[in-house]
């Protein structure tokens, strides 16, 4: 009996020794926005504030993210590129250990921009730019051969018939691309709007079917909003958020999207827009 008691006590002590210790410091360190120590400092070039900015939030007990307008940086800091001269807002968001969020806005003044991709100016002009269907094209939407056609070639829809194809997104609808926040706003003909963001990557090119030139000169990606009639007719009208850029000038934008699994001359869809 004595041996059993000793054994029980030994097991109890062992269990206590192995039990996890509750970390009561886990939720400590949560701070308010006023207690944040963060900075956004522009790099000096040619004696003036450039559009390259160094972000830093080291020492704060929270997870960090930075919305700098044309993108988001996750982490305690880094180097980002702004797109506009003048005052730029950078919004910092911190996630405290207890799950609460704090935000703080820093204003950075830019005197001169460097290395801004020219496509920003094509999409957005000097700040924002309106695009609508290309009423000078015989067809503004439809399908054709992937990697071969560069405009609707099989089933084609003229701008006058777009309203019946996509209610509210016909001839009187338009899109506004804005530098501020890399915002994309779709304005429908019924007065309603849909808002999201956009980005592009001109390094993501696609060779044509003959492999002797480019079919796609870059990629346009949208978030939370599509371009006008940005849908998959053979896919339950599901939204399309990623497009090949086939042509992009100050006045014209041609986009393409292949159906899943399409090879050369498979089905692709095309959108033709013109700057307003």
pLDDT at 237 (0 to 100) = 97
pLDDT at 13 (0 to 100) = 40
Provide the domain limits for residue 158.
Answer: 119-275
Measured CA to CA, the distance from residue 71 to residue 80 in angstroms comes to 9
Do both 123 and 74 map to the same domain? no
Do both 181 and 251 map to the same domain? yes
Residue 181 lies in a domain: yes
Do both 146 and 88 map to the same domain? no
Do both 99 and 138 map to the same domain? no
Do both 142 and 68 map to the same domain? no
Do both 123 and 225 map to the same domain? yes
Domain-terminating residue out of 85, 110, 135: 110
Domain-terminating residue out of 110, 137, 165: 110
Q: How many domains does the chain have?
A: 2
Residue 21 lies in a domain: no
Domain-terminating residue out of 110, 130, 146: 110
pTM of the model: 0.81
- Candidates 224, 222, 212; CA nearest to 255 is 222
Residue 9 lies in a domain: no
Do both 183 and 82 map to the same domain? no
Do both 166 and 270 map to the same domain? yes
Residue 20 lies in a domain: no
Residue 65 lies in a domain: yes
**pLDDT tens readout for residues 111-141:** 999 999 999 999 999 899 999 999 999 999 9
CATH of the domain at 106: 2.60.40.10
Do both 248 and 186 map to the same domain? yes
pLDDT at 28 (0 to 100) = 58
Residue 55 lies in a domain: yes
Measured CA to CA, the distance from residue 227 to residue 243 in angstroms comes to 9
- Candidates 104, 91, 90, 89; CA nearest to 32 is 104
pLDDT along the chain (276 residues), means of 10: 41 41 49 97 98 97 95 96 95 97 98 97 96 98 98 98 96 96 96 97 98 98 98 97 98 98 98 97
Do both 145 and 187 map to the same domain? yes
**pLDDT tens readout for residues 55-73:** 999 999 999 999 999 889 9
Do both 104 and 151 map to the same domain? no
Residue 15 lies in a domain: no
Residue 247 lies in a domain: yes
Do both 138 and 251 map to the same domain? yes
């Amino acid at each position: 009996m004595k041996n059993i008691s000793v054994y029980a006590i030994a097991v109890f002590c062992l269990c206590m020794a192995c039990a996890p210790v509750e970390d009561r410091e886990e939720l400590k360190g949560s701070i308010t926005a006023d207690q944040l120590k963060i900075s956004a400092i522009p790099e000096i070039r040619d004696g003036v504030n450039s559009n390259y900015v160094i972000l830093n939030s080291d020492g704060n007990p929270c997870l960090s993210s930075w919305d700098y307008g044309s993108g988001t940086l996750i982490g305690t800091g880094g180097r980002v590129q702004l797109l506009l001269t003048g005052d730029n807002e950078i919004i910092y968001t911190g996630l405290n250990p207890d799950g609460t969020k704090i935000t703080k806005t820093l204003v950075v003044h830019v005197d001169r921009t460097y290395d801004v991709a020219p496509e920003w100016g094509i999409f957005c002009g000097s700040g924002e730019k309106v695009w609508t269907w290309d009423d000078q094209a015989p067809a503004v939407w439809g399908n054709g051969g992937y990697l071969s056609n560069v405009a609707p070639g099989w089933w084609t829809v003229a701008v006058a018939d777009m309203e019946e194809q996509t209610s509210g997104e016909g001839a009187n609808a338009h899109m506004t691309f804005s530098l501020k926040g890399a915002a994309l706003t779709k304005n429908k003909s019924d007065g309603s709007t849909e808002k999201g963001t956009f980005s592009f990557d001109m390094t993501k090119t696609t060779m044509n079917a003959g492999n002797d030139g480019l079919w796609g000169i870059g990629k346009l990606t949208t978030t939370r909003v599509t371009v006008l009639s940005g849908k998959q007719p053979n896919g339950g009208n599901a939204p399309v958020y990623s497009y090949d850029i086939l042509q992009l000038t100050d006045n014209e934008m041609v986009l393409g999207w292949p159906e899943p699994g399409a090879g050369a001359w498979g089905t692709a869809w095309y959108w033709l827009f013109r700057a307003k």
